[in-house]
Structures are given as C-alpha cells and as structure tokens.
Amino acid sequence: MPSPEHTPGSRGYIIPIGGAEDKVSAKAILSRFVRLCGGDDAVIAVVPTASVDPETPDRYRRVFGDLGVGTVRVVDVQRREEADAAAAALTGATGVFITGGAQLRLSTLLGGTDVARIMRRLNARGVHVAGTSAGAAFLSEHMIAFGKEGGTPIAGQATLVPGLGLTNRVIVDQHFRQRDRMGRLLSALAYNPFAIGLGLDEDTAAFIGPDNTLEVVGSGGITVVDAGGLEHSSMATVEEGKPVEMIGVRLHVLVEGSRFDLHARRAFPAPALPPPEGV
C-alpha cells in the first residue's frame, strides 16, 4: 500500500511517462521534473534496474547534467542481493527517476527491499518519483507485467503483479497508442474496476500532484479509462482467450495541459489557445 503522508497533501509528485521521452530538444517532461526537484540544486537518484543496457545510467547522467542538475546518483541494482547496499544512494535525493526496460526486473529485484521501502517513504515525505516505460508501470500498486496487444479485452490478456505501490488509484500502460494496448488495459481494469487506467503515449507524462489531480505534459495523449461506473463485466465467467464484455466504461483522451481529478473522476480540458494567425 502507499506510504501514509505525514500531512495531507505533502506527498511528492508521481510521474509516469509513456516511454521514449524527448532527451534531445525541448526535453519538456524531463525539464519539468528537474524544476520540481530543485533545478540546479536537485539531487536525482536514477534507478536503471529495469534495463540490461550498460549505457543506460550514463545516458541519464548526461541528460540530467545537461539540464543543470548538480548531483546525479545511480541506484545500481542488477541482482537482488545488491539492493539493500544500493539504497544508500537514495539519501538526500530530491527526485527519483526509474528508467525503462522490463517491468518484471523491477518487481523481482526491488520488491520487498530497502530500495523499494525508501522510495515509498521519500515520496510520502515530498520527494518526486518519475518512471518511464517499464518504470512508469512500476509506480502504482497494481502493475501490468505483460500482455498481448490489441483493441479488444481478452480473458487472460493482461498479467498483473505488485508494483512499487506509490498509489493504488491508477493502473498504467505505456507506449499506449504506438503498441495498440487498449485491450490489455481494459482487461486489467476488468480485474480491478476501482482503479483508473492511464494509457500513456510515448513522450507523454502524467504529473500526478499531491491532491491526486494529474496534468498532461508532452507531445502525445493520455487515454483515461474509468471503469468506476462499470455496469457489467463477463471477466468472471468468460473462457480464457475469449473476448470480455464490459458495459459502462468511460473514456477520455487528454492532451498537454488537460487535467484529471483521480478522486472525483472528472476531466478538465486544456486551456484554450488563440486561433492560428490567418484563420
């Protein structure tokens, strides 16, 4: 379960990113994360456990360094027995960034370790925690470990495992539009209609504030799937591999500047922009 906040509204931001975030030009998502974490005074701990690419830690060292971050540490856990010793790198962090890779590496290598416990405590005390791709899926209590692509929910399509547990309000799926993952997100929500599904396009993030209102940042969209008013689901009776009937699901597509209140389950459009010149 999420760590209790010391005072209401004191939790840090939770920032799932759909993967392939811009690291070269405007870097809108990463720049905003750095500003939240203190800008030049930020201390960012990078957790590359999901990745087996040895260049991942240095890639994010360079990116955050280019954004002016003075201190970037790596919480280097490639085997479970390394986790407790690596937790010291989280001391004094003002932000934590979990990289992409394979979700199951995060749950199996970090679950139940000091690294996971400290990240939850830090977020409860006001430290901002972001994750991209696999790291995004890991942030919530319920994580989609894997599942088949496609637009229709299929019984057995999504496999859920415990995530980090910063919030139990959402289930995150990443690379959403690019990899046709509507069906597996719907399948996950059929198992747990309490949660709200966030389908994150690439280079798109949900900045979930302490008040449980998220704001969309990035070049793509976020598909919000709300099964809280689900009237009927055949998930409990349908044969595995067969399509699942779901009636009463609400769907919103949000773009940069749009907001969604996870408590009230209400969407708000982005502020209106002036029309282009000549229109």
- Residue 239: HSE in the Cβ half-sphere, 13 Å Cα cutoff: 1
Q: Tell me what pLDDT residue 51 has.
A: 97
Is 51 noted as a catalytic residue in this protein? no
Among 133, 187, 233, 258, which one carries the catalytic annotation? 133
Among 128, 175, 187, 258, which one carries the catalytic annotation? 175
Is 175 noted as a catalytic residue in this protein? yes
- In-domain check, residue 273: no
Tell the residue number behind the tokens 């599942």, with chain if given. 147
User: Cα torsion for 217, 137, 6, 215, to the nearest 10°?
Assistant: 20
The closest alpha carbon to 106, from 155, 34, 165, 147, belongs to: 165
- In-domain check, residue 250: yes
Asked if residues 99 and 60 have their Cβ atoms less than 8 Å apart, the reply is yes
SS3 content of the chain, % helix, strand, coil (to 5): 25, 30, 50
pLDDT in tens, 250-263: 999 999 999 999 99
Q: Tell me what pLDDT residue 13 has.
A: 98
- In-domain check, residue 269: no
- In-domain check, residue 2: no
- In-domain check, residue 181: yes
Is 263 noted as a catalytic residue in this protein? no
**Residues in the chain with pLDDT values less than 50:** 1
- In-domain check, residue 6: no
Among 202, 233, 252, 258, which one carries the catalytic annotation? 202
- In-domain check, residue 217: yes
What's the rounded Cα separation, in Å, for the pair 174 and 82? 28
- The number of helix segments (H) and strand segments (E) in the chain equals 7, 17
Cross-strand bridge partners of residue 226: 196, 250
Q: Tell me what pLDDT residue 76 has.
A: 92
* Number of neighbours of residue 1 by Cβ within 10 angstroms: 8
Total domains, the chain: 1
φ, ψ for residue 204, nearest 5 deg: -145, 135
Q: Tell me what pLDDT residue 92 has.
A: 98
DSSP 87-122: GGGGTT-SEEEE--S-HHHHHHHHTTSHHHHHHHHH
What's the rounded Cα separation, in Å, for the pair 51 and 277? 45
Domain with 22 in it: what CATH number? 3.40.50.880
- In-domain check, residue 102: yes
Residue 217 sits in which domain range? 14-261
| Assessment of whether the complete model's pTM goes beyond 0.85 | yes
